[in-house]
Amino acid sequence: MMSKKRFDWAQRLKKLPPYLFAEIDKEKKYLKSKGIDFIDLSIGDPDILAPIEVVNTLSNAARLKPNQKYALDQGKFEFRKTIKNWFKDRFAVGLDENKEILPLIGSKEGLVHLPLGFVDSGDYVIIPSPGYPGYRGAALFAGAGVYEMPLLEKNNFLPDLEKIPRSVRNRAKIIYLNYPNNPTTVLAPVDFLKKLVSFASKYGIIIAYDNAYSELYFNHKPKSILEIKGAKEVSIEFHSLSKTFCMTGFRVGWACGNKELVETLLKVKTNIDSGIFGAIQDAASFALEKENHYANNLRKTIKERRDIFVKGLMAKGYKDIFAESTFYVWVRIPQKYRSAIDFSKTLLTKRIVAAPGRGFGKWGEGFVRFALTVDKRILEKAIDLL
């Protein structure tokens, strides 16, 4: 489609790395076109429906005239107030609903727009590797240099902040971090979060803490960075209803934390979008206020799937399996394969689609990510095929 290239791409788009899932996507399309069945464990989009009462709230709210008009850029007061209450209950952190909370069109929207408010060319953005691919695009679109910070198994997939070169630290504006972590599934211990806050404070770096999976845990409740002393001076945290309530398609989340950071993100957004559909905000408020039991059930379902899948992998001889939180399983590829892509291609011949670790950054090489977003019976079938 792009062969003639009548319209040359801007440099910022040219700088984006090749899309590593492209070959996998091509193969998926091919299998679909031939009517061949396959098990798709590659995408982090839950198969489970959003709470029905949330859908009903959305449907009723869509009929209301004020919701059919432009929404406030800052989001509805009632929604911000609900977020404030939810945050207080969940993390015991107080937030000012007028200055420290900003509703978003999904957390990705805010994560990606943030650097536009703070980064000039010549600055650095530090991204975790492996990590959610959105951070890299965000940095490159803002003209930043990207420093890929390794998350290594030997460090429990936490970054070694001391290894970030001085030249990068001194020119870095933002450091992205995400725990519970996609794709490695690990949580961040409090000691690490404390170190992170003191590192960021010392070098004047903004912590963009991606907490999209805060409710998808099994044993230990994940923390908010804002629970750490001094964090509010330097941090903005991102939350999402996508995973907690299986509302990926609704596009709703929020940013919260330092008021200057929140205010700047709002300024960027005001120049780009015109608020979130009011009915979606009403539905999101309902979810946060009334659907706490939903996350409990979701955790039970995912835990059951995880236990089946991990047990199956172990029985098949897989080693180095990580499944501490989220709905992913991060696994080292068997030794005989040259690369994660190579292994993923072999899985495709067995009609299983998984995400090669290299797609999450260079330090993801050697691993593959399975998303447990299908029913347990299908997972059992996948294990048989592996």
Ligand X SMILES: Cc1ncc(COP(=O)(O)O)c(C=O)c1O
For binding to ligand X (CB under 6 A), which residues are involved?
44, 106-108, 132, 178, 182, 210, 212, 240, 242, 248, 253
* Identity of the amino acid at 32: K
> Nearest distance from residue 337's CB to ligand X, in Å?
25
> Nearest distance from residue 63's CB to ligand X, in Å?
26
Taking the least distance from each CB to ligand X, the nearer of 210 and 282 is: 210
- Cis peptide upstream of residue 180 (ω within 30 degrees of 0): yes
Taking the least distance from each CB to ligand X, the nearer of 208 and 352 is: 208
> Nearest distance from residue 241's CB to ligand X, in Å?
7
Alpha carbons 315 and 153: distance in angstroms, whole number: 22
> Nearest distance from residue 199's CB to ligand X, in Å?
21
> Nearest distance from residue 298's CB to ligand X, in Å?
15
Taking the least distance from each CB to ligand X, the nearer of 107 and 281 is: 107
Taking the least distance from each CB to ligand X, the nearer of 169 and 214 is: 214
> Nearest distance from residue 221's CB to ligand X, in Å?
18
> Nearest distance from residue 133's CB to ligand X, in Å?
9
Taking the least distance from each CB to ligand X, the nearer of 132 and 192 is: 132
Nearest-10 crossing angle of helices 77-91, 278-290: 30
Q: Please, how many CA atoms are within 13 Å of residue 247, restricted to the half-sphere of its CB?
A: 31
Alpha carbons 16 and 255: distance in angstroms, whole number: 25
| Helix (H) or strand (E) run with residue 102 in it | strand 101-104
Taking the least distance from each CB to ligand X, the nearer of 106 and 169 is: 106
Positive/negative CA dihedral, 366, 372, 374, 380: positive
Sequence-separated contacts (24+) of 197-200 with Cβ below 8 Å: 197/225, 197/228, 197/229, 197/230, 197/231, 197/234, 197/235, 198/230, 199/161, 200/175, 200/234, 200/235
Taking the least distance from each CB to ligand X, the nearer of 108 and 169 is: 108
> Nearest distance from residue 135's CB to ligand X, in Å?
9
Strand partners, 150: 129
CB atoms < 10 A from the CB of 121, how many? 8
The greatest distance separating any two alpha carbons of the chain, rounded to the nearest whole angstrom, comes to 62
Q: How much helix, strand and coil, in percent to the nearest 5, is found in the chain?
A: 45, 15, 40
Taking the least distance from each CB to ligand X, the nearer of 44 and 275 is: 44
For residues 4, 7, 13, 17, the Cα torsion angle rounded to the nearest 10 degrees is: 10
> Nearest distance from residue 212's CB to ligand X, in Å?
4
Q: Is 293 in a helix, a strand, or coil?
A: helix
* Identity of the amino acid at 385: L
Taking the least distance from each CB to ligand X, the nearer of 146 and 169 is: 146
